[in-house]
């Protein structure tokens, strides 16, 4: 009986002096902030008003980030599914579990995935509508990738993001050696006989230049017959066919015949016939066309750029001479023009082409 009286007496005491005893519904008589008249604090995992429930923030998509709306919990904490605490980060889209503070941002999807009020966009430095692989964060308040220099994940990839005239939207310019439309190819003028002179028809290169066999740039001169290499030289005759389209062949002395086609990585022989007798014959060659003055011979030029002296031989009593040279393996896929110069008379043979 005495024990029961002691317990009843304690039940009637207001230990925290908040105006409520345990008998009057105080669920924590050691804390004056907790009593039936207290105001409930949302999402703190404490039942301040002793109603056996807790007011929680709503986490509708259950991703761990809360909204600002509330829900009544069936217990006195906010640890159950779809409940959020006041210490939880605030969700910017509580209907989408893939969007919350700390989520991995997907570049260029026009969605602020990590709720930082910005978007991660691809860079379109030249602002031509095609993006690079580089990314950057927009300024605060900009959650899309539709502004200047911003690209989305669906935009095509630019092959040169510093030049607005080069993009998958661009129109290809024929024979300029530039891949304007980013298809990793180039449209070139045709050079079927590979004499470095072009016609008006075009071919599609397998790469982004016009430097391969059968391809020509727009800057190269026109050919009058693209089925026979008849380079329209103005200063020297070609050994095989008309040297000038619609013109007159310059005079020459001696025919030069190459080992054609040449084999890179081996030796190649150039044969001179019907040249001047018993004179020095200088064999020169170059993979590029141009016009180069012959030293010691005023007014005589060879139609090559940066010609190389391959070697000299004395012609025999028939005006013949041969020169054998080593051809590096790196010459494969290239054409080399050759000609013989006679320094004593400032004359030349006709020009020949070796295809390696």
Give 216-237 as a DSSP string. Answer: E-TTSPBPS-TTS-----SSS-
Alpha-carbon dihedral sign for residues 157, 163, 164, 169: negative
**Within this chain, do residues 272 and 282 fall inside the same structural domain, yes or no?**
yes
> Would 236 be classed as within a structural domain?
no
> Would 321 be classed as within a structural domain?
yes
Residue 15's domain comprises 1-31
**Within this chain, do residues 261 and 329 fall inside the same structural domain, yes or no?**
yes
> Would 274 be classed as within a structural domain?
yes
> Would 116 be classed as within a structural domain?
yes
> Would 240 be classed as within a structural domain?
no
Please count the CA atoms within 13 angstroms of the CA of 294 that sit on its side-chain side.
Answer: 24
Tens-digit pLDDT profile for residues 282-328? 999 888 777 788 999 988 888 777 888 999 999 999 999 999 888 77
> Would 300 be classed as within a structural domain?
yes
Whether omega before 323 lies within 30 degrees of 0, making that bond cis, reads: no
**Within this chain, do residues 91 and 179 fall inside the same structural domain, yes or no?**
no
> Would 45 be classed as within a structural domain?
yes
**Within this chain, do residues 259 and 202 fall inside the same structural domain, yes or no?**
no
Tens-digit pLDDT profile for residues 213-226? 889 999 887 877 77
**Within this chain, do residues 164 and 176 fall inside the same structural domain, yes or no?**
no
pLDDT at 133: 95
pLDDT at 318: 94
**Within this chain, do residues 262 and 192 fall inside the same structural domain, yes or no?**
no
**Within this chain, do residues 282 and 335 fall inside the same structural domain, yes or no?**
yes
**Within this chain, do residues 44 and 4 fall inside the same structural domain, yes or no?**
no
> Would 250 be classed as within a structural domain?
no
Confidence of residue 182 (pLDDT cuts 50, 70, 90): very high
Question: Is 69 in contact with 58 (CB distance < 8 Å)?
Answer: yes
CATH code, domain carrying 320? 2.60.40
**Within this chain, do residues 122 and 160 fall inside the same structural domain, yes or no?**
yes
pLDDT at 241: 54
Q: Measured between alpha carbons, how far apart are the two ends of the chain, in Å?
A: 119
**Within this chain, do residues 113 and 149 fall inside the same structural domain, yes or no?**
yes
Q: Is the pLDDT of residue 330 over 90?
A: no
Domain count, the chain: 5
Confidence of residue 238 (pLDDT cuts 50, 70, 90): low
Backbone angles phi, psi at 5, to 5 degrees: -65, -40
Buried b (16+ CB within 10 A) or exposed e, 46-62: bbbbbeeebbbbbbbbe
**Within this chain, do residues 267 and 287 fall inside the same structural domain, yes or no?**
yes
Tens-digit pLDDT profile for residues 133-145? 999 999 999 999 9
**Within this chain, do residues 289 and 351 fall inside the same structural domain, yes or no?**
yes
């Amino acid at each position: 009986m005495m024990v029961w009286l002691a317990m009843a007496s304690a039940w009637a005491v207001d230990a925290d002096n908040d105006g409520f005893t345990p008998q009057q519904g105080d669920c924590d008589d050691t804390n004056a902030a907790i009593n039936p008249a207290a105001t409930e604090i949302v999402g703190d995992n404490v039942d301040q008003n002793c109603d056996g429930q807790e007011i929680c923030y709503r986490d509708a998509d259950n991703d761990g980030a809360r909204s600002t709306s509330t829900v009544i919990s069936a217990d006195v904490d906010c640890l159950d599914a779809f409940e959020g605490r006041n210490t939880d980060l605030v969700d910017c889209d509580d209907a989408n579990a893939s969007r919350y503070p700390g989520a991995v941002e997907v570049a260029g999807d026009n969605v602020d995935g990590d709720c930082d009020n910005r978007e991660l966009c691809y860079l379109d430095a030249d602002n031509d509508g095609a993006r690079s692989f580089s990314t950057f964060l927009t300024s605060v308040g900009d959650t899309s990738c539709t502004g200047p220099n911003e690209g989305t994940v669906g935009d095509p990839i630019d092959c040169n993001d510093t030049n607005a005239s080069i993009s998958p939207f661009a129109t290809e310019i024929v024979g300029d050696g530039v891949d304007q439309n980013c298809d990793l190819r180039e449209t070139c003028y045709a050079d079927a006989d590979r004499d470095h002179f072009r016609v008006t028809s075009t071919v599609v290169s397998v790469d982004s230049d016009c430097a391969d066999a059968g391809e020509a740039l727009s800057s190269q001169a026109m050919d009058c017959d693209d089925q026979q290499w008849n380079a329209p030289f103005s200063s020297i005759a070609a050994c095989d066919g008309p040297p000038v389209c619609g013109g007159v062949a310059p005079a020459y002395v001696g025919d030069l015949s190459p080992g054609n086609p040449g084999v890179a990585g081996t030796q190649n022989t150039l044969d001179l016939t019907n040249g001047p007798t018993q004179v020095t014959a200088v064999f020169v060659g170059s993979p590029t066309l141009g016009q180069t003055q012959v030293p010691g011979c005023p007014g005589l030029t060879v139609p090559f750029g940066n010609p190389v002296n391959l070697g000299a031989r004395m012609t025999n009593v028939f005006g013949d001479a041969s020169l054998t040279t080593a051809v590096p393996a790196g010459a494969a896929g290239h054409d080399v023009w050759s000609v013989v110069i006679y320094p004593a008379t400032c004359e030349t043979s006709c020009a020949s082409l070796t295809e390696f």
